[in-house]
Amino acid sequence: MDRESDVARATFFGLHALQHRGQESAGIAASNGRRIKVHADNGLVTQVFREEDLKVLTGHIAIGHNRYSTKGATRKYNVQPYLINGPGIEFAFGHNGNVINAGELRREMQEWGVTFRTSSDSEVIAHLFANAPGQTWGERAAYCMRRLKGAYSLVIMTNNELVGIRDPLGIRPLCIGRVNNGYVLASESCALDNLGATFERELDPGETVVITEDGVQSDIWSGTDRSTHSMCVFEHIYIARPDSTLAGKLAHRARQAMGRELAKMHPAEGDLVIGVPDSGISHAVGYSEESGIPYGEGLVKNRYVQRTFIQPDQAMRNLGVRLKFNPLRDVIEGKRIVVVDDSIVRGTTTPRIVEMLRKAGATEVHVRISAPPITSTCHFGVDMSTLDQLIAANNSIDEIRELIDADTLGFLDVDHLMRAVGVQDDSYCRGCFTGRYPIPVQLEMSKMELEEPMGVEGD
């Protein structure tokens, strides 16, 4: 953007559009060409920023970050963007994803004399870039891509450059758009829409884009296999907003297709199809279209309760489910209900929803899930915790049906899921369903791997 643009305010609204991707902390860094200022704290975007905070974040470049932790505690020292000082370079840094060899790289850089102030893999990536050889961001990225293993979509800001980087597997999304006489990078296209920007394209796996006053320069790492990508299919199922475009496909359309495939695999005799708001709605619409069973709203969602799946501990999830939904008795009473949701991970939400529907007078409750059973943990940016907490890793489908007290239960399988997103190859990571990942991983990794006694400063 030009030097008079209110980029911090634009970044604030972009983060607000992406609040669903992380609710633990928020931050913005802005540059006026001479100095980078950062304001960040724990909380939602609207809790972290006041008018006076945005007014001091002046400049012509800004980056923002909503944190959803998959490595490191929910502590203030892990809030992003980070301000990084390296040999002859200073930059602000934001990361989406998870790097599985962060501990090894951190120990190596500590031997170089690098001091770490957080317990996040994101700081490891940032310092690797700060210490990478090379004169250009493309050269630095090439070095880092050879060293890093895992998922990383990055935004980096110097005094006069905005840089976007997507890992060679393309596991997490990142796109670029145009607004007025400037450019915008965002995890999802819905943020561009919110800013009135024009979506241009998604970054390719292994791509580095450098945006300056002279325009956009692109570089793709030579080690990238450009014939395929391994984007997380859970982005299509749940994570992304339904109005975002992923891998060229609107998430809402992909979810409708999943619902249609689910109806083919697991038909049900019911009077009404309802979706679990909000992420199950598109799936339920597709199920209704294919099955011919009328669709209706049976659950009202409290819009001011956070997403229970991505809250940082189980106690908060349990409380969130009770506060989050309320059934419409007049709609549900006396009917056979087919309730469609995107996934069952820990089994926190689904049994309480079934209980609500039965108390509201449903004569039967048939549960349909638009994802296959999640039997393995995610290593690339979705906090699915440990195997002992995954309900499908420890129970058969019939046992899950009994645990959630459903009359019937059906999951989409992997083949039908991939048909719904429009591929029949290995171009998506579906390791949480199959246990097979695009790169070798440990069976389980600790979220707190980089906490003490590794040594990080306190809040």
> pLDDT digits over 263-302, tens only?
999 999 999 999 999 999 999 999 999 999 999 999 998 8
Residue 319 has pLDDT above 90, yes or no: no
Residue 311 has pLDDT above 90, yes or no: no
pLDDT for res 454? 43
Q: Tens of pLDDT along 181-213?
A: 899 999 999 999 999 999 999 999 999 999 999
Rounded Cα–Cα distance for residues 331 and 351 (Å): 20
pLDDT for res 18? 97
Residue 162 in tokens? 């905005």
pLDDT for res 227? 72
Residue 310 has pLDDT above 70, yes or no: no
Residue 205 in tokens? 């796996």
Mean pLDDT of 108-125: 94
Q: Tens of pLDDT along 292-304?
A: 999 999 999 887 6
Q: Tens of pLDDT along 36-82?
A: 999 999 999 999 999 999 999 999 999 999 998 765 555 788 999 99
Q: Which amino acid is at 195?
A: L
Q: Given the structure tokens 């908060």, which residue do they identify?
A: 316
Under the banding of pLDDT at 50, 70 and 90, the label for residue 322 is low
CB 320 within 8 A of CB 348: no
Q: Tens of pLDDT along 210-261?
A: 999 999 999 999 999 877 779 999 999 999 999 999 999 999 999 999 999 9
Rounded Cα–Cα distance for residues 292 and 359 (Å): 26
User: What is the torsional sign of CA 187, 310, 346, 343?
Assistant: negative
Q: Tens of pLDDT along 415-427?
A: 999 999 998 777 8
Residue 118 has pLDDT above 60, yes or no: yes
Which domains are seen in the chain, by residue range? Answer: 7-230 (3.60.20.10), 251-424 (3.40.50.2020)
Q: Tens of pLDDT along 430-455?
A: 999 999 999 988 755 554 556 554 44
Portion of the chain with pLDDT greater than 70, in percent: 89
Pair type for strands 182-186 and 175-179: antiparallel
CB 20 within 8 A of CB 14: no
Q: Which of 227, 291, 307, 422 is nearest to 44 (CA)?
A: 307
Backbone φ and ψ of 326, nearest 5°: -140, 130
- CA-CA distances (angstroms) from residue 149 to 174, 329, 379? 18, 50, 10
Residue 351 has pLDDT above 80, yes or no: yes
pLDDT for res 117? 93
CB 216 within 8 A of CB 209: yes
Name the average pLDDT for the chain.
Answer: 90
Q: Which range has the worst mean pLDDT, 48-62, 147-161, 291-305, 364-378?
A: 291-305
Residue 456 has pLDDT above 50, yes or no: no
